[in-house]
């Protein structure tokens, strides 16, 4: 795994973790920030994985150039150009799923296959999605995962006490960057653009998700032209970390990498 620093055609910077070999795969992270975890390691076994930080995660002023998801989609379009990638599998989790869906709707020719994992982006009045940005970390971690191991990882901080302030500032900036796009509710009329997402799409959900309930999987499936829905029993909002083997089995079948 290596870090790639780029300046895009727009003048905006990009910070990308890259690893693996094979067809290109763009991974868009959730509101907690980007980490190279066991899931990305598994994806890198069959693909060249590119995992950028969402713009604004390091420098809030970057968000001044990104008014909404149309601008964010163009950011990822420019990123693929800078990486010399024509088309890619795009995988997004949580907020990253919302960003991935918007990118696929705005630039469908760049996305060969789409994977949405417990994705934000839609809204049901009778099953609202809670704003957990101001929730104490312990409570937020228990909402996001029912796995003690994953919950512990979500709460983990650097072993070096001197590194903790920078770590906490980084997490705050990432959550603030995400809030720029989803506050006060994560609904930016994505439903009206789902018809443009014509590539094969896997909608993958943890059955026990307490943050974005599993009923949203059906909402995505009903609106997408070519969708396959898979639910992961016993998993919460982070099935890719809670049930990595089960998720990779489904992904291998969907991506043709069995």
Dihedral of alpha carbons 43, 142, 205, 124, sign:
negative
Coil vs helix vs strand at 101: helix
Of 249, 223, 257, residue with least CA distance to 112: 257
Cis previous bond, 184, omega within 30: yes
Assign 258 a pLDDT band (cuts: 50, 70, 90): low
pLDDT tens figures, 157-210: 888 888 877 777 777 778 888 888 888 888 999 999 999 999 999 999 999 999
pLDDT value for 132: 83
pLDDT value for 174: 84
**Percent of the chain whose pLDDT exceeds 90:** 70
What CATH number is attached to the domain comprising 9? 3.40.50.1820
pLDDT value for 99: 97
| Residue listed under structure tokens 């709707």 | 105
**Domain with 205 in it:** 2-255
Question: How many structural domains compose the chain?
Answer: 1
Taking the model in full, what pTM does it have? Answer: 0.95
pLDDT tens figures, 89-142: 999 999 999 999 999 999 999 999 999 999 999 999 999 998 887 777 788 888
Is there a contact between 190 and 102 (Cβ–Cβ < 8 Å)?
A: yes
Q: Left if phi > 0, otherwise alpha if psi is -120 to 50, otherwise beta: which for 212?
A: beta
Length of the chain: 258
Return d(Cα 32, Cα 45) in angstroms, integer. 24
């Amino acid at each position: 795994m290596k870090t790639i620093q780029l300046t895009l055609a727009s003048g905006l910077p990009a910070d990308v973790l890259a690893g693996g070999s094979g067809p290109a795969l763009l991974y868009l992270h959730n509101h907690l920030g980007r980490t190279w975890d066991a899931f990305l390691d598994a994806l890198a076994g069959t693909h060249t994985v590119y995992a950028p930080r969402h713009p604004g995660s390091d420098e809030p002023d970057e968000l001044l150039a990104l008014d909404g998801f149309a601008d964010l989609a163009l950011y990822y379009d420019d990123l693929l150009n800078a990486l010399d990638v024509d088309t890619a599998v795009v995988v997004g989790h949580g907020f990253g799923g919302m960003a991935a869906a918007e990118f696929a709707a705005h630039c469908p020719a760049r996305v060969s296959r789409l994977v949405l994992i417990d994705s934000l982006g839609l809204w049901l009045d009778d099953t609202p999605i809670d704003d957990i940005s101001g929730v104490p970390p312990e409570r937020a971690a228990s909402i996001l995962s029912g796995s003690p191991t994953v919950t512990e990882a979500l709460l983990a901080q650097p072993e070096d006490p001197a590194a903790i302030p920078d770590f906490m500032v980084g997490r705050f900036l990432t959550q603030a960057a995400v809030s720029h796009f989803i506050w006060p509710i994560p609904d930016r009329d994505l439903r009206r653009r789902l018809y443009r997402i014509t590539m094969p799409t896997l909608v993958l959900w943890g059955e026990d998700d307490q943050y974005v309930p599993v009923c949203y999987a059906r909402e995505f499936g009903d609106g997408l032209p070519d969708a396959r829905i898979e639910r992961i029993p016993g998993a919460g909002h982070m099935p890719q970390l809670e049930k990595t083997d089960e998720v990779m089995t489904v992904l291998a079948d969907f991506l043709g990498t069995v």
